[in-house]
Amino acid sequence: MAQSLDYLKETPSQTAGPYVHIGLAPGAAGFDIYGQELGWDIAGPNAQGERIRVEGLVIDGTGSPVKDVLLEVWQANAAGIYAHPEHPGAVEDGFRGWGRVITDFATGEWGFDTVKPGAVPGRNGTVQAPHINLWIVARGINVGLNTRLYFEDEAEANAADPVINMIEWENRRQTLIARRNETDGKVVYRFDIRLQGENETVFFDI
């Protein structure tokens, strides 16, 4: 017998269930309880960079929009700095880089306003293309799904991105690219997430 390893095991995940809004977005569940709900303002008023909106659907394996999803967003600021003590450099006052949105109960559409992030360091001295990290939970999803949103108009940076290039199936890489539209001077990126089947979005084990 060898010595025993005394690492603890991670607490197992469970689905967030159909009523995740009660805990994480009670206003959407239909009641007002907290002084402030968290996650509505990702970038804050002082953030530098291009103001953008990101919108999309989450679509299940039958092609139907999923209407009870909660998504969380984690991103760097326009200079590529995360609002975290382990990332050197300062972010603008009020920039949190984190947000939380839910899908519309009737349509399944979700969206958030933020600033376009800058490139961030990769491993071994590489540079990662600008991207937004997403985490998706819902009824029927047993462990939250991680994915990344990249930007269509960053083709050169995307072509050199170490994570995109890790996906050996080149035709799957485009599932991570949000499409840019400009309407009335407002920049909107469209990012539909397909949980299953044709054009299934790439999900990561991070």
Partner 1 sequence: MLKPGEFYQRDREWHPPAYVHNYKTSVARSPRQALISLENTVSEITGPVFGHGDIDAGDNDLIYNYAKSGESAIGERIILHGRVLDENGRPLPHTLVEIWQANAGGRYRHKKDTYLAPIDPNFGGCGRTLTDENGYYYFRTVKPGAYPWRNWVNNWRPAHIHMSIFGTAFAQRLITQCYFEGDPLIAKCPIVNTIPDPAAIDRLIAPLDLNATIPLDSIAYRFDVVLRGRRSTLFENRLEGN
Q: Does 4 bind partner 1 (CB under 8 A)?
A: no
Burial of 204 (0-12, 13-18, 19+ CB in 10 A): middle
DSSP 62-105: TSPBPSS-EEEEE---TTS--SSTTS-S---TT---EEEEE--T
Site string for partner 1, 187-206 (x = CB under 8 A): --------xxx--xxxxxxx
Q: Does 44 bind partner 1 (CB under 8 A)?
A: no
Q: Does 7 bind partner 1 (CB under 8 A)?
A: yes
Rounded Cα gap, residues 60 and 55, in angstroms: 17
Site for partner 1 in 143-162 (CB under 8 A): 143-146, 148
CB-nearer residue toward partner 1: 57 or 145: 145
Q: Does 141 bind partner 1 (CB under 8 A)?
A: yes
CB-nearer residue toward partner 1: 19 or 181: 19
Q: Does 120 bind partner 1 (CB under 8 A)?
A: yes
Burial of 147 (0-12, 13-18, 19+ CB in 10 A): buried
Q: Does 129 bind partner 1 (CB under 8 A)?
A: no
The structure tokens listed for 129 are 């293309």
In this chain, which stretch among 32-40, 46-54, 150-158, 183-191 interacts with partner 1, using CB under 8 A? 32-40
Selected from 43, 52, 77, 82, the binder of partner 1 by CB under 8 A is 82
Site for partner 1 in 9-28 (CB under 8 A): 9-24, 26
C-beta of residue 71 within 8 angstroms of C-beta of residue 195: no
Hey, which residues does 32 pair with through a beta bridge?
none
